[in-house]
Structure 1
């Protein structure tokens, strides 16, 4: 009986990080969910799990643990990813999660950061902390995900076209406009880093590696608190919501916003192919609050 042995879990972790390009945060969460399921099924080998075990696990999480649909759906997603990988690697012949759907959760509207609070936040960052200024300018100015910001390389900027290359989920690339003010700060930061720099935000401990997403959280939280905005629940991901909301409020069509944010749902994929980078740049420069100030 090998259960979910350590080597299999490590291989699954590597698959999500290297092949799927998932963030450290997501990978850690999926691994925890898989190990929680292992504890639930007790002595069963992972190859013995059938389609009845997983609904029992979800029901346990919902009824006994009192978890909301959003959380149980995430755990189901983790198991679906795990068993799809096991099937791909030929550890199993039948995927017990095949065809399973999560519960429908109520969709709450994302709450953006108020423009006044964004101004307060930027004002709280001193001139000599250029890294923090650039980081938050990019988070809010491009709608980039936290892990996308962490992986930005020096070569990802095109200063002539005023764009930045972002590497999203599944290592899917997109080109996003960036405003003049942010680019000016980026150039200053690059000068500080030196000609041998690879990443825009290198790890302080390991310069040839990128900053961790956890460190990005810490930097944002530090300045949120310094600006006196502790109770506003301002996170890196909330800047992404703010980016989309403020562009929409500025009159930008949803198809441009979806393209810039990298929302690749099945029903919008065809729309993205019709959006030119020139059109996207124009609507961005005419609508985003940080672009309008530069």
Structure 2
């Protein structure tokens, strides 16, 4: 008999053949359900999957919404994972009745762009220059602000930077491609690689260069020193270390910085491409999607809407300034 916690979940995840980040999310969703089943006093403790009922899943949905007060998007994702899991259980004859078949998912809120303001970008760069590994961290910030996903940054090798652009060879759903870098980012990467070369003991005297197949960004933590910087390490760098420094900088000016995480660089890049394209007529959404490597116009639409908001706001201020100038003449 398949156990509630282990056997079925492990087999399901193995069959899905997910990327590490996706598998972690699926496992989290399923563990929310098993933990709820095993709460003290619960009648569902160590319950076999075949005994899970539709009524029980409705109670779990209420628990997510009212007790944990999770967002509609998180509840929807968790229940969607459960639906997929029960689909798999039924397809493999582990259950006869599908308890999640009629389970209603919360309406998904329309995704919005979470771009950084000009001030936040400045604080983020300043935080990087004030951090312990300033050269590396400044280069990472520049790459993040060119729209790369966190995992794509972690997968970069030295050879993927040709001095002008980055070559994305491993990406989500095969969205590989090339990202041209602005001069400032090119300079930051060159300075980082020169600094890294200088940190290699005896390398300059021996004429040894950094091997092209080495990771572009490496960790300097005692545990993973000189190993590839991982997703967790990158996320911790941005959302904890740089966040803390940026917050101090903002508070010194009597302001606050919003929550920083690696993906906000991608949002900022995509939004700025659309804004600049509308303002200077140099780029349309098709070209912007090429640079961000979006495959779906629907998923990219959030950045078009955000650009419209920013330009509409700018137009109001510009109009008011013109009106004010007229009254003064």
Deviation readout 1:227-260 (Å, 9 max, x if unpaired): 3246322222222211111111111422333333
The change in CA–CA distance for 1:268 and 1:72 in structure 2 (over 3 A counts) is closer
The offset of 1:215, in angstroms, is 1.8
Residue in structure 2 matched with residue 123 of structure 1 by the alignment: 126
Equivalent residue runs for 1:204-283 within 5 Å: 204=220, 205-206=223-224, 209-220=227-238, 221-227=240-246, 228-229=249-250, 231-251=257-277, 252-265=283-296
2:148 aligns to what SS in structure 1?
A: coil
Residue in structure 1 matched with residue 172 of structure 2 by the alignment: 169
| Alpha-carbon distance in 2 for matches of 1:95, 1:208 | 49
Aligned-residue RMSD, C-alpha: 3.6
Provide structure 1 residue ranges, at least 5 long, that are not aligned to the other structure: 270-294
The change in CA–CA distance for 1:124 and 1:36 in structure 2 (over 3 A counts) is closer
1:232 aligns to what SS in structure 2?
A: coil
The offset of 1:83, in angstroms, is 4.2
The change in CA–CA distance for 1:30 and 1:245 in structure 2 (over 3 A counts) is same
Q: Which moved more, 1:185-194 or 1:27-36?
A: 185-194
Q: Tell me if structure 1 keeps the 8 A contact 2:26–2:81.
A: yes
| Alpha-carbon distance in 2 for matches of 1:88, 1:171 | 28
Bigger Rg, which one: 2
The offset of 1:13, in angstroms, is 5.2
The change in CA–CA distance for 1:109 and 1:95 in structure 2 (over 3 A counts) is same
1:104 aligns with 2:102: no
TM-score when scaled to structure 1?
0.71
1:152 aligns with 2:156: yes
The offset of 1:136, in angstroms, is 0.8
The offset of 1:199, in angstroms, is 1.3
| Alpha-carbon distance in 1 for matches of 2:190, 2:270 | 25
Aligned residue pairs, count: 263
Specify which structure has the bigger relative contact order, considering alpha-carbon pairs within 8 angstroms and separated by 6 or more residues. 1
